[in-house]
Amino acid sequence: MKRLLSVILCILIVVGSFSMLSTLVSAKEIGLAQTGYQILVTDYQQLKNLLYNSQNGEYLILQNDIIIDDNDNDNELILSLFTNCALDLNGYTLSRSTRGVDACLIRVNNGANFYVYDSSDEKSGAMIFSSGNYAGTSSVIIANGNVDIYGGNFEIKTPYQVGGGVVFLAETGYLEIFDGVFDSHTAFGGDTIELRHNAYMYDVPHCNIYDGTFYGKISNFEVSSFSDFSSYGCMYPSVYVFDGEFYIAQPDDEYAGFAYCNNGWGNVFVAGGTTYYKCLNSRDQDYLEGVSKNLTTIEYEGKKGYYYEITPPTMIGSEDLTLTDRLSIELMKMEVSFYSKKGAVYQNNQEMFDAILSYTDTIEVPAAIEESPLLWVENTDNVKTVSWYMSDQEHFDGKNTLWSELGDYRGSVLPFRFDFRPQEDTTLYIRCLITTDDGKELEDVIAIHYEEFKPNPPIASVEVAGVTAPSVGAKPDFSVDDTQMYYINGVYWTDVTTSSHINLKETDVFEAGHTYELQVWLRANDGYKFSTDSDDWLDITATIGGKEAEAIGNEIAAILTVTYTLSDEEKPTESQDPEEYLLGDVDGDGKVSVVDATLVQRHVAKLTTLEATQLLAADTYKDGEITVVDATTIQRFVAKLITEF
């Protein structure tokens, strides 16, 4: 996804920004949950203060339900301008019922980025807003900035039937929904999501929906400008639907429909999912060319309605171009084509729009990669025949391209690779021509750019770093560092003291007198291979943590093995984190007695084995070894012949 975004940005960098580029930003790449400063939240006022005073990057985690019922005004949760903050519902409910005139539960101000997660296994986290006497549109979240939703249950209620109620209201910025349940079916008005644009000089709101379940009253979307600002060269609010389930509670209402775009001053483009079969006006939604629509009956809230189950177009698939990547580009082209009829908009953005329309999805093959990329056909349920064609840079000319059929791959829909890889820097164009069971012909074209082939030298030596050698009382270290040339495919510690080999877990500890085997499994990264001999067996030198390792494998995979034997007298290393102890108190009863001296004697005689903390307490002679001298020292202390160790 990042690579695709960078390619598009390179095309558009000289012609300015484009609102629909938000489609290409994967929320899975955010990472606030992993890197943000974590703060545990227990009450409404604390959360209100944290959001308002956010300093960029806080990761807020609910610790309990927060449910308030008030008559207050000015009690919205507000995320300040140009800040970044994440909220993890963590399986709990954040709910506010008010009789005041506040418009929402959470307001995200301009330029701010707000991310909502639900990390609970049950996915039971919820946000609920029950509005009071606000005469406008009430919502759970008002987004003037950017909002990404990863999960949770969101519900809007309007018990006083004043104004309208939606789950999300976006006036500027971008709303991205990746998962969750969104319910507005009991609200007055009852659209699930509303995008509106009230002035031509402001950023136009845009929404991408990748998945989720949506319950509306008579529609799921209202997407409109307050006027036709296209005469000023301004685009309309827009929604891209990649997937998701969209239901309405009143399909028999005369105004029922999947989406509503007032006077056509908005766009809803659909590439997949389950949607109500019609809209109020024919222009309120458009389907991506090539989708298949299966009309079915679904019952919701006791009423049956007609719905389309929409499958994305049959397209070329690849590890390097995900289906979402490809659909993103096609939806952008679809929206740009719409603006070809809007003179001022097209004139203001002509260079950028032309670049998007002429763009071909491209797979990049780096110089060190010796194979062509893996290809397949996405969505093959209705496919009857498949033919593959190729053209080069010289003969590629859009619809006038001279194609050569690749007969060896005719009919291939499962993953395959071409058996060639150009040695020079070049771009090849791949065309897939598909005939469906109902006689339709579908065409898809991608490009593969091959850098000049320059293989990396074989990996002849491996030095695995990051492993801590075992010591008595310490726990196994499973952390091993990847490198540019290879990645770690597995780390395994085994107690091989006896014939009954025992695999170790992270909670186990190393014991004195035991022998342990460490295996590190490696796999070469793309573009790299391990050195092999004439019989194709692995031929490398290897170390793990500086210790010479035995290596077996082939050019792609290697298994490295080292063995450690811990002597009976070995003491835990200082890097260990033992429990607190009293010197001389070997049995841990809080006092020094003859029992402690006896334990030391039994350890020296190998009748018992002291644990890590006991070994530290037993070394009363402070020479780093446990001997009879330590037992004698304890006896002298008990007899008060000495007063300290």
Instruction: Name the more confident of 263 and 504.
Output: 504
**Confidence at 579, pLDDT banded by 50, 70, 90:** low
Distance between CA atoms of 354 and 356, rounded to whole angstroms?
5
pLDDT digits (tens, 9 = 90+) for 209-244: 999 999 999 999 999 988 888 888 888 999 999 999
6: pLDDT strictly greater than 50: no
Mean pLDDT for 140-169 is 93
Torsion of CA 135, 189, 228, 11, to 10 degrees: 110
Assigned CATH class of 578-645? mainly alpha
**pLDDT of amino acid 104:** 94
481: pLDDT strictly greater than 90: no
Report the predicted TM-score, pTM, of the whole model to 2 decimal places.
0.77
Rg, Å, the chain Cα set? 33
**pLDDT of amino acid 479:** 83
Q: Which residue has the tokens 């979402």?
A: 324
CATH superfamily of 360-450: Immunoglobulins (2.60.40.10)
Distance between CA atoms of 215 and 155, rounded to whole angstroms?
9
**pLDDT of amino acid 28:** 36
CB-based burial of residue 637 (10 Å sphere; 0-12 exposed, 13-18 middle, 19+ buried)?
Answer: buried
pLDDT digits (tens, 9 = 90+) for 162-191: 788 999 999 888 999 999 999 999 999 889
Percent of the chain with pLDDT over 70: 92
pLDDT digits (tens, 9 = 90+) for 344-388: 888 888 888 999 988 999 999 999 999 999 999 998 888 889 999
Question: DSSP secondary structure string, 506-544?
Answer: TT----TT-EEEEEEEEEEPTT--B-B-TTS-B--EEEE
Q: Backbone dihedral region of 212: left (phi > 0), alpha (psi from -120 to 50 degrees) or beta?
A: left
**Confidence at 440, pLDDT banded by 50, 70, 90:** confident
Distance between CA atoms of 625 and 571, rounded to whole angstroms?
7
**Confidence at 7, pLDDT banded by 50, 70, 90:** very low
